[in-house]
Amino acid sequence: MIGLDGATVLLQWAAGGWLFLWVTTRHREVGLGYGWLQRCAFLVLAAGSLAAAFVTTPTWTREIATMAFIAAGGVALWVSIDRKAAGVAGQRDIVERRSERVAAMTGIDRDEQRFDKDSSEFPPVLDLIAAGIGLIAVVIASLEAGGPAALSVFRGLTSALFLGVVSDAMLLGHWYLVQPGLARSPILELVRWTAILWVPETIAMLLPTGMVSVVNGNIDDAYNGLL
């Protein structure tokens, strides 16, 4: 039987969310604030994972990997703030084109958001590194959860990815209120990933010991047969 605790769930959520943050930020279209919001949120979740572990029973290999994840994520957040003057290439181009159109139509040269083109942009690979370390921590947590190793890792990773992509899609959907004119391609990409990942996530929940075992009566669902 696979045992799952709150610390592992929070870790899955943070690691999966960070991976799909990279999926979005690598295109350099969504504004800096979105990345800051996401990184802070996932750092809080990862810290919550550690807190939950130490309040209950810590699994030191998982906790050490989680600490490494938090450290890598903290570096990514710090670099993104340090290099904010450069902005984001895609957003920068949109702002400049719109300002030129307004000036051409109205003759009014309005103030626009200024970026330093000579500054280096945030390298999205830092998000990928943080996510990779987080997913390694998820694998460790899955192995520590017991049960068949392959099934446990499969469930751990698919759940992390599914939680992450759904959370990111919801947050990005609301970010369109903050960044008018943002193309639909970033949110459509996350929607496609959600459509792909619900299949292995559903399979992971059905595989024995899972919902199939409940339906055929091999295990008690503890709900008097309701499930």
Average pLDDT in the chain: 85
| pLDDT average, residue stretch 63-82 | 96
Residue range(s) defining the domain that contains residue 40 = 6-83+122-215
Total number of domains constituting the chain:
1
Give the percent of the chain with pLDDT over 90: 56
- Does 62 fall in a domain? yes
- Does 114 fall in a domain? no
- Does 13 fall in a domain? yes
Q: Quote the pLDDT of residue 50.
A: 95
- Does 202 fall in a domain? yes
Residue pLDDT, tens place only, 97-155: 555 554 455 555 555 556 556 677 889 999 999 999 999 999 999 998 777 889 899 99
Q: What is the pTM of this model?
A: 0.82
Residue pLDDT, tens place only, 163-212: 999 999 999 999 999 888 888 999 999 999 999 999 999 888 887 776 66
- Does 92 fall in a domain? no
- Does 74 fall in a domain? yes
Q: What is the DSSP secondary-structure string of the chain?
A: -----HHHHHHHHHHHHHHHHHHHHTTS-S-HHHHHHHHHHHHHHHHHHHHHHHHS---HHHHHHHHHHHHHHHHHHHHHHHTGGG--HHHHHHHHHHHHHHHHHHS---------TTSPPP-THHHHHHHHHHHHHHHHHHHHT-S-HHHHHHHHHHHHHHHHHHHHHHHHHHHTTTSTT--SHHHHHHHHHHHHHHHHHHHHHHSSSSHHHHHTTSS--SSTT--
